[in-house]
């Protein structure tokens, strides 16, 4: 098959090969004409004066055939080159070499130690799960919840989200609840002359050794041995350890044995034994019949407390209420006149008689029993004997209706003898 002389044939590589040919490489061009006569098609052509012979290899000499075959293989490997992109070709012994532009460096993706984010070459190293975010170092981390600052009721201090709710003025500090408070003055510890106890600023001036205690003035003192109070069989007085086994009422002191409270001089216990009353004082807790306070008969006479010494063991208590009096002794039912305390008197006011059934004395205040302030105790002497009792006044005595009346049927017959404290009716 023949072709016109000077015809040119182009061998083009596939499109992918053409694109690869844009990198920096040498392209061989064989031309039997000058460069100015070489046409500039879209793709560079391989043209040789022996191209026609390449179409009929069996007619060419062996070295021409090998030359064409080599060139064809080189073009197929390197691909065509855009003519528009060529620089001025250089002719070197029939071979034309063209230098292409700068080839960008090859990019190698980098995902070592990274599970997400960019790979450095426009790609990615992976993605994170829902609720996670990719950190700068390519690690998936849980997205923290959104923090809402909280400053309600707070004027200072943190807001809970890394921010603040405000600041305090000079001389103030922020409390834990977010309020500005005045800074208290600086406290200076004071331990001068003290070896133990508080220093006045919440600290300590020291501690004491075992067996010692710190006194109020900051000195260590030996602890006294433990004291056990002793009140067995005692109702009052000290307990032996600085305490008391009981106290006594007013006008009384504790007996030496601590078994009872004893009234002080001039005082006697009341009938219940719960208090001491003054002799001659008001009859608080004391009856007209009286009670025994040891060997003393205590009774109320005319609204005042009076006492009578009965003698050793001669005061007798006769009922559960504590009523008691002196035993009758030599005094009979007719009785005797005496002062309230049993002493003799020219004008005695009390009539003492014996309650023979009980064997104790009964005292009768004549002023009270007669209803007369002039009442007194006296005797009436008659031919039949002597009788003793309360009189309303001289020559006057209570009658059958307990009213005061003349002692004698003929009042003019009444005589009163003060020296002997007795009356007569014309005798």
Q: What tens digit of pLDDT does each residue of 80-132 get?
A: 544 444 444 444 444 444 444 566 788 999 898 898 989 889 888 999 998 88
How far is Cα of residue 281 from the mean position of the Cα atoms in its chain?
A: 57
Give pTM, 2 decimals.
Answer: 0.46
Q: Are 297 and 326 in contact (CB under 8 A)?
A: yes
* pLDDT tens figures, 313-327: 999 999 999 999 999
Q: Are 159 and 149 in contact (CB under 8 A)?
A: yes
Q: What percent of the chain shows pLDDT beyond 90?
A: 49
- 297 has which bridge partners? 292, 308
What is the length of the chain?
427
Where along the chain do its domains lie? 15-97
Phi-psi region of 294 (alpha: psi -120 to 50; beta: other; left: phi over 0): left
Residue 29 has pLDDT above 60, yes or no: no
Going through 159-303 in order, the beta strands assigned E by DSSP cover 172-174, 180-182, 212-214, 220-222, 252-254, 261-263, 267-269, 276-278, 291-293, 296-301
Confidence of residue 402 (pLDDT cuts 50, 70, 90): confident
Mean per-residue pLDDT of the chain: 80
Of 17-26, 256-265, 292-301, which range is least confident?
A: 17-26
Looking from the CA of 149 toward its CB, the CA atoms found within 13 Å total 13
Q: Are 293 and 268 in contact (CB under 8 A)?
A: yes
* pLDDT tens figures, 179-214: 998 887 888 899 999 999 999 898 999 999 988 899
* pLDDT tens figures, 277-313: 999 999 999 999 999 999 999 999 999 999 999 999 9
Helix (H, G, I), strand (E, B) or coil at 304: strand
* pLDDT at site 3: 41
Confidence of residue 62 (pLDDT cuts 50, 70, 90): low
* pLDDT tens figures, 317-373: 999 999 999 999 989 889 999 999 999 998 999 999 999 899 999 999 999 999 999
Structural tokens at position 269: 């216990």
Residue 21 has pLDDT above 50, yes or no: no
Structural tokens at position 392: 């309303």
Residue 138 has pLDDT above 80, yes or no: yes
């Amino acid at each position: 098959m023949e072709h016109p002389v000077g015809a040119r044939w182009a061998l083009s590589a596939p499109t992918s090969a053409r694109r690869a040919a844009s990198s920096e490489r040498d392209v061989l061009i064989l031309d039997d004409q000058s460069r100015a006569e070489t046409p500039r098609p879209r793709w560079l052509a391989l043209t040789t004066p022996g191209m026609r012979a390449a179409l009929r290899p069996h007619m060419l000499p062996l070295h021409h055939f090998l030359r064409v075959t080599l060139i064809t293989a080189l073009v197929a490997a390197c691909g065509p080159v855009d003519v528009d992109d060529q620089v001025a070709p250089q002719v070197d012994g029939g071979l034309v070499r063209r230098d292409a532009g700068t080839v960008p460096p090859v990019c190698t993706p980098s995902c070592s130690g990274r599970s997400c984010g960019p790979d450095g070459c426009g790609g990615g190293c992976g993605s994170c799960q829902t609720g996670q975010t990719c950190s700068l170092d390519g690690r998936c981390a849980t997205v923290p919840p959104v923090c809402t600052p909280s400053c309600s009721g707070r004027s200072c201090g943190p807001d809970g989200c890394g921010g603040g709710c405000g600041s305090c003025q000079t001389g103030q500090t922020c409390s834990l609840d977010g309020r500005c408070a005045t800074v208290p003055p600086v406290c200076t510890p004071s331990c001068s002359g003290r070896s133990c106890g508080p220093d006045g600023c919440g600290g300590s001036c020291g501690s004491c050794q075992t067996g010692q205690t710190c006194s109020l003035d900051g000195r260590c003192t030996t602890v006294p041995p433990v004291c056990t109070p002793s009140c067995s069989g005692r109702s009052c007085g000290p307990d032996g350890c600085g305490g008391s086994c009981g106290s006594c009422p007013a006008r009384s002191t504790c007996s030496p044995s601590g078994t009872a409270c004893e009234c002080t001089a001039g005082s006697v216990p009341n009938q219940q034994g719960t208090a001491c009353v003054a002799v001659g004082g008001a009859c608080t807790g004391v009856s007209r019949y009286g009670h025994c306070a040891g060997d003393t008969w205590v009774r109320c006479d005319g609204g005042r407390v009076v006492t009578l010494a009965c003698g050793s063991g001669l005061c007798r208590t006769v009922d559960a209420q504590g009523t008691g009096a002196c035993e009758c002794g030599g005094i009979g039912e007719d009785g005797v006149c005496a002062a309230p305390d049993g002493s003799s008197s020219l004008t005695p006011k009390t009539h003492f008689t014996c309650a023979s059934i009980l064997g104790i004395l009964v005292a009768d205040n004549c002023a009270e029993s007669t209803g007369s302030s002039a009442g007194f105790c006296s005797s009436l002497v008659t031919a039949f004997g002597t009788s003793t009792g309360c009189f309303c006044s001289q020559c006057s005595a209570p009658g059958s209706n307990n009213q005061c009346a003349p002692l004698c049927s003929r009042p003019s017959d009444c005589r009163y003898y003060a020296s002997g404290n007795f009356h007569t009716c014309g005798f």
